[in-house]
């Protein structure tokens, strides 16, 4: 084959001149390029906890003398030297450790670190990042029934003390005197975190919750309702596979939970006899037998979430426990361990209303690739998802309306002014509203699916808040659903009346 060129010992080459000559030039340039880019110096940097580890390896044919220089941002300090002289014999490695001390301004930020190795006539640079969670992690938007609300708080200890007070105060909206306050002592080694639960004794009302610890303050939104209504819960096996589904219902809605993926598969508005969520389960994908099919997005329907892309959890059977079976609300907790990362979802149906709550609690400390979560209701209002379905989002510039396009699928990243989105079937008069803490996600992703999608040959709509899963602390998120007969505006107002509509504080 005259298009091939062989490279022999001592740089000798055989082959046609049109290929051989450029290769010879590249070989001649190799020494220059290695010198110019200092390729015989290997500089690596990684962060473990609050320690920066720098390794320098010498691949040259002579001992290397030089300095490692570390540049930290103002909000990150250290007692270790930032300039360290090294002598590195041939084919050897030297390691430098810098123990960093982040300040409160470093929390909830990806803090850049600069690393340089300087030797005579040579310079090599790299970067690393000290990625820190918020010092205080809470549910930014929460609802519950009086008289007692369980309120989790997780604190990352960025100081050198191992024990510290955490103060919580609850204020009625617009008031300056707290209705409830409590202080708990947290114990966490420097660089670690601890979660504890406050039990808030509160009457019905709209509240702001403030948490103070380590010189940092966090605020969140809380709605407390009157304890009324008697929803019901039971275990069922709808597809006869021996794995229980959980059915929660009241006078307004019937909700069915699957342990597979810990998803809502039915959210039925009783007055319209309509499941507002698209449902394909228990059917299988038409190409189910295709090799590696389960590694792509797999259509179940319902309310689910993307953990990774498409999803680690699509086919996982969660552990499940009914945590409240009677009273003014019923509740199911589901959890699963993904290679050392714990995902927990708690589903609650309140009173005789359509209000369905999903609380996410994520203790993810391993595998940084699993860093995004996209909870989503897969909507098919009425008999089917079609052009009569109107969808609304409160964007920064005002309310925007969307409808499907029958001939193509499309999507959009939406910046929100308020934390909700709505859908309304204009023919069958049924609506859905989803609410969530507006500033917790990076954006709201809208997706109008059609049967042209190779992974999911179905018609439906998705409105999916994409949020970052923090490491080195607990990550929380909440999502609220309200489906009923009538207009979407009524549903938004019902959620607003429960203090479940949040307004962005971003500029």
How many CB atoms are closer than 10 A to CB 242?
A: 6
Closest CA to 462 of 443, 475, 448, 479: 448
For residues 172 and 307, which has the higher predicted lDDT (pLDDT)? 172
pLDDT at residue 486 tops 80: yes
Name the average pLDDT for the chain. Answer: 95
How many CB atoms are closer than 10 A to CB 362?
A: 24
Closest CA to 229 of 216, 248, 210, 242: 248
C-alpha–C-alpha distance, residues 294 and 310, integer Å: 10
Which single residue is written with the structure tokens 């819960």?
A: 233
Which single residue is written with the structure tokens 């407390």?
A: 224
Strand, coil or helix: what is 11? helix
C-alpha–C-alpha distance, residues 483 and 354, integer Å: 6
Alpha helices in 228-328 (DSSP H): none
Cβ-based neighbours of 136, under 8 Å, separated by 6 or more: 153, 154, 155, 156, 211, 213, 216, 217, 218
pLDDT at residue 131 tops 80: yes
pLDDT at residue 9 tops 90: no
Cβ-based neighbours of 219, under 8 Å, separated by 6 or more: 208, 209, 210, 211
> Could you tell me the pTM of the whole model?
0.91
Domain boundaries, the chain: 41-131, 136-225, 232-497
- What tokens were used for 147? 């008289």
pLDDT at residue 312 tops 80: no
C-alpha–C-alpha distance, residues 69 and 241, integer Å: 61
DSSP class of residue 224 equals: E
Question: Which pLDDT score, from 0 to 100, does residue 287 have?
Answer: 81
High-pLDDT (> 90) share of the chain, %: 83
High-pLDDT (> 70) share of the chain, %: 99
pLDDT at residue 310 tops 90: no
C-alpha–C-alpha distance, residues 458 and 63, integer Å: 65
Q: What share of the chain is helix, strand, coil (3-state, %, to 5)?
A: 10, 55, 40
What average pLDDT does range 398-423 have in this prediction?
A: 97
Question: Which pLDDT score, from 0 to 100, does residue 158 have?
Answer: 98
C-alpha–C-alpha distance, residues 410 and 413, integer Å: 11
Evaluate whether the domain defined by 232-497 bears CATH number 2.70.98.10: yes
Per-residue pLDDT reduced to its tens digit, 197-233: 999 999 999 999 999 999 999 999 999 999 999 999 9
Q: Is residue 5 very low, low, confident or very high in pLDDT (cuts 50, 70, 90)?
A: confident
Per-residue pLDDT reduced to its tens digit, 49-91: 999 999 999 999 999 999 999 999 999 999 999 999 999 999 9
CA angle 336-264-349, nearest 5°? 100
Instruction: Specify which residues 393 forms β-bridges with.
Output: 400
| Contact between residue 282 and residue 238 where contact means Cβ atoms under 8 Å apart | yes
| Contact between residue 158 and residue 135 where contact means Cβ atoms under 8 Å apart | yes
- What tokens were used for 375? 């909870």
Q: Is residue 27 very low, low, confident or very high in pLDDT (cuts 50, 70, 90)?
A: confident
Question: Which pLDDT score, from 0 to 100, does residue 257 have?
Answer: 98
What average pLDDT does range 242-250 have in this prediction?
A: 96
Distances (CA, A) of 501 to 4, 15, 153, 479, 491: 67, 71, 21, 11, 11
Question: Which pLDDT score, from 0 to 100, does residue 309 have?
Answer: 62
Per-residue pLDDT reduced to its tens digit, 428-475: 999 999 999 999 999 999 999 999 988 888 999 999 999 999 999 999
136-225 belongs to which CATH class? mainly beta
What average pLDDT does range 336-349 have in this prediction?
A: 96
Q: Is residue 36 very low, low, confident or very high in pLDDT (cuts 50, 70, 90)?
A: confident
pLDDT at residue 1 tops 70: no
Q: Is residue 373 very low, low, confident or very high in pLDDT (cuts 50, 70, 90)?
A: very high
Question: Which pLDDT score, from 0 to 100, does residue 311 have?
Answer: 62
Question: Which pLDDT score, from 0 to 100, does residue 230 have?
Answer: 96
Strand, coil or helix: what is 340? coil
Per-residue pLDDT reduced to its tens digit, 132-190: 999 999 999 999 999 999 999 999 999 999 999 999 999 999 999 999 999 999 999 99
Question: Which pLDDT score, from 0 to 100, does residue 24 have?
Answer: 83
Closest CA to 233 of 343, 148, 320: 320
What average pLDDT does range 410-438 have in this prediction?
A: 98
Give me the CATH code for the 41-131 domain, please. 2.60.40.10
C-alpha–C-alpha distance, residues 200 and 150, integer Å: 6
| Contact between residue 390 and residue 423 where contact means Cβ atoms under 8 Å apart | yes
C-alpha–C-alpha distance, residues 241 and 236, integer Å: 11
What average pLDDT does range 257-280 have in this prediction?
A: 97
| Contact between residue 486 and residue 471 where contact means Cβ atoms under 8 Å apart | no
How many CB atoms are closer than 10 A to CB 35?
A: 13
What average pLDDT does range 280-307 have in this prediction?
A: 85
C-alpha–C-alpha distance, residues 297 and 306, integer Å: 9
Question: Which pLDDT score, from 0 to 100, does residue 33 have?
Answer: 65
Same fold yes or no, 136-225 and 232-497:
no
């Amino acid at each position: 084959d005259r298009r091939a060129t062989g490279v022999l010992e001592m740089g000798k080459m055989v082959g046609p001149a049109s290929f051989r000559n450029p290769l010879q030039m590249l070989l001649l340039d190799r020494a220059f390029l290695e010198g110019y880019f200092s390729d015989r110096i290997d500089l690596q940097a990684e962060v473990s906890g609050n320690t920066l580890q720098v390794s320098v390896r010498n691949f040259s044919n002579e001992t290397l003398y030089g300095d490692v220089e570390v540049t930290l941002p103002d909000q990150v300090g250290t007692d270790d030297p930032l300039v360290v002289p090294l002598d590195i014999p041939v084919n050897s490695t030297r390691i430098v450790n810098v123990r960093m001390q982040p300040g409160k301004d470093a929390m909830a930020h990806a803090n850049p670190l600069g690393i340089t190795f300087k030797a005579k006539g040579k310079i090599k640079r790299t970067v690393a990042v000290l990625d820190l969670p918020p010092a205080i992690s809470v549910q930014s938007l929460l609802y519950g029934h009086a008289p007692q609300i369980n309120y989790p708080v997780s604190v990352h200890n960025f100081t050198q003390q191992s024990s510290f007070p955490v103060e919580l105060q609850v204020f009625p909206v617009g008031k300056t005197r707290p209705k409830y306050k409590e202080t708990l002592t947290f114990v966490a080694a420097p660089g670690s975190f601890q979660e504890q639960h406050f039990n808030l004794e509160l009457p019905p009302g709209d509240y702001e919750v403030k948490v103070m610890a380590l010189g940092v303050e966090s605020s969140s939104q809380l709605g407390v309702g009157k304890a009324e209504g008697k929803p019901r819960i039971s275990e069922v096996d709808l597809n006869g596979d021996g794995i229980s589904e959980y059915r929660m219902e009241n006078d307004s809605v019937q909700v069915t939970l699957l342990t597979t993926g810990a998803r809502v598969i039915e959210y039925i508005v009783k007055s319209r006899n309509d499941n507002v969520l698209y449902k394909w389960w228990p059917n299988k994908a038409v190409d189910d037998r295709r090799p590696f099919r389960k590694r792509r997005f797999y259509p179940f329907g319902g309310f689910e979430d993307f953990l990774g892309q498409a999803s680690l959890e699509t086919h996982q059977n969660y552990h499940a426990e009914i945590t409240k079976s009677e009273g003014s609300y019923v509740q199911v907790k589901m959890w699963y361990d993904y290679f050392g990362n714990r995902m927990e979802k708690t589903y609650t149906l309140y009173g005789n209303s359509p209000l369905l709550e999903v609380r996410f609690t994520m203790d993810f400390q391993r595998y940084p690739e699993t860093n995004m979560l996209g909870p989503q209701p897969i909507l098919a209002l009425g008999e089917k998802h079609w052009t009569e379905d109107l969808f609304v989002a409160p964007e920064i510039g005002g309310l925007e309306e969307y409808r499907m396009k029958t001939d193509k699928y499309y999507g959009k990243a939406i910046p929100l002014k308020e934390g909700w989105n709505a859908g309304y079937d204009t023919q069958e008069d049924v609506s859905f509203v989803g609410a969530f803490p507006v500033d917790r996600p990076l954006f709201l992703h809208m997706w109008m699916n059609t049967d042209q999608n190779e992974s999911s040959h179905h018609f439906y709509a998705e409105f999916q808040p994409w949020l970052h899963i923090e490491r080195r602390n607990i990550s929380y998120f909440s999502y609220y659903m309200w489906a009923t007969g009538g207009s979407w505006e009524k549903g938004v107002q019902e959620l607003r009346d429960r203090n479940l509509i949040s307004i962005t504080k971003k500029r």
